[in-house]
Structure 1
């Protein structure tokens, strides 16, 4: 079972913690991660695109000219899709892009993503952030002390409001509550920082179960 050194926000060692093999030690399932991330991104689409068909465009009730004898092509309406100002053929309409993804697949994808980050040594655990007041400068110093580089995902508990306010203005940091932990955000960031309270286990709390 892999273990990670727990650190304080100043970078000092505060013991070690074993990473749960069921969450951080499995073989990443790439196809499942791909399918789950695709579904997540699809669900973000607004789906509000809308254009008018020939039945919805204003006008065009009268036949432009008689059927025969003019030398021109037959036409029954000025709102035909081939006319300027006409309707749109096969017009896009509002729709939902959401995909149904089984819960077991979502949980497997999240465990795969966390295992991939753990295998690379990019899972960090801090005992607690310990900010008395919101401090962006303090947040930068804490991440540097932990050795968290690149894009960083910080996972906080719901009541850790001061830490949230400290990290939220950093461009390369994404902050989530533990109940919002998901495959896409783990994969899109270079490393993940948990607190001792938010570190997932195989016997989930209510928050960690919601995250999976």
Structure 2
């Protein structure tokens, strides 16, 4: 079974913790990971393009000139597409660009990404993460004590606005609450820090063994 370094908040070593095979020792499927990242990027798009049809442009409430006797072609409205500032024919309009992956595929992609990071030895588990008050300085000190640099994904067991606000001003730091993180969050991260309580949430979500039954070695 895969292991991860277990540390305290001050950076002191607390041994190692055994991770679930379903999450950190799963079969790696690169194609599925790529599909999940593309799917998330697609869902983040907002199609705001829009053009007005002849019924939406201003004006055009009456005929521009009389039907006969002018020598010109008959016209019914100046909002017709062939007029300047008239309606647009077959122009772009907002579309629903959302795409979905099957539930099992999403979970398999997350497990694949976590397995890759675990095999690279960049997954660190800390026993707890607590803040008395919002402080970016304290948050940066914790990362320095843990030896964490670069893009980092921090996974919490529950929402904590104090922790979130303490880390949000540090470049490259992404804070997520388990299990609400994506494959792209994992793939983009150079380091992953998981609070031990988050392992319980992940194990329950993915049907893995209870982390309380996993042995921690010191």
Please indicate the TM-score interval, normalised by the length of the shorter structure. 0.7 to 0.9
Is the contact made by 2:178 and 2:202 (CA closer than 8 Å) also made in structure 1?
no
| 34 and 82 in structure 1: CA distance in 2 versus 1, 3 angstrom threshold | farther
Q: What are the superposed Cα offsets for residues 57-108 of structure 1, whole Å, 9 maximum, x if unpaired?
A: 23456377989x96x8x68564444442122221222322111321111111
* Number of residue pairs the alignment of both structures matches: 205
Q: Which runs of 5+ in 2 are unaligned?
A: 209-218
Secondary structure in structure 1 of the residue aligned to 2:193: strand
Q: In 1, Cα distance between the equivalents of 2:200 and 2:74?
A: 67
Secondary structure in structure 1 of the residue aligned to 2:204: coil
Runs of 4+ more than 6 Å apart: 63-67
Q: Tell me what 1:62 maps to.
A: 63
Q: In 2, Cα distance between the equivalents of 1:118 and 1:57?
A: 57
Is the contact made by 1:63 and 1:75 (CA closer than 8 Å) also made in structure 2?
no
Is the contact made by 2:168 and 2:174 (CA closer than 8 Å) also made in structure 1?
yes
| 96 and 175 in structure 1: CA distance in 2 versus 1, 3 angstrom threshold | same
- Is 2:141 the partner of 1:144? no
Q: Tell me what 2:112 maps to.
A: 112
How do residues 88-127 of structure 1 correspond to structure 2 at under 5 angstroms? 88-127=88-127
Q: Tell me what 1:186 maps to.
A: 186
Q: What are the superposed Cα offsets for residues 19-73 of structure 1, whole Å, 9 maximum, x if unpaired?
A: 2222112243222222222222222233343211234323456377989x96x8x
Q: Which runs of 5+ in 1 are unaligned?
A: none
TM-score (norm 2): 0.79
Q: Tell me what 1:198 maps to.
A: 198
Q: In 2, Cα distance between the equivalents of 1:202 and 1:172?
A: 23
